[in-house]
């Protein structure tokens, strides 16, 4: 039994998998944090874009006002 425990402790199979799982979790965590910080601005921009596009007619050309 002691030999089995020593062999198990020296075995490195699966270590790369653990590394990838940790790295993937870190990337997902950073993505969630980034989304949380830009969510309000993105929602506001989306609402402004919706308001602007809702007031337009397809095929209409808006020319800038002459000064």
Check pLDDT > 70 for residue 66: no
Percent of the chain with pLDDT over 70: 94
Query: 52-64 b/e with 16+ CB inside 10 Å = b?
Result: eeeeeeeeeeeee
pLDDT at 67: 61
Question: Which residues contact residue 54 at a Cβ distance below 8 angstroms, ignoring those fewer than 6 apart?
Answer: none
Give the predicted TM-score (pTM) of the model.
Answer: 0.49
In the predicted model, what is the mean pLDDT of the chain?
Answer: 85
């Amino acid at each position: 039994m002691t030999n089995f425990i020593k062999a198990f402790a020296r075995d490195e199979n699966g270590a790369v998998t653990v590394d990838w799982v940790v790295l993937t979790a870190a990337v997902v965590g950073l993505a969630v944090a980034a989304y949380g910080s830009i969510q309000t601005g993105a929602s506001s921009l989306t609402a402004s874009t919706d308001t602007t596009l809702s007031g337009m007619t397809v095929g209409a050309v808006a020319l800038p006002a002459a000064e």
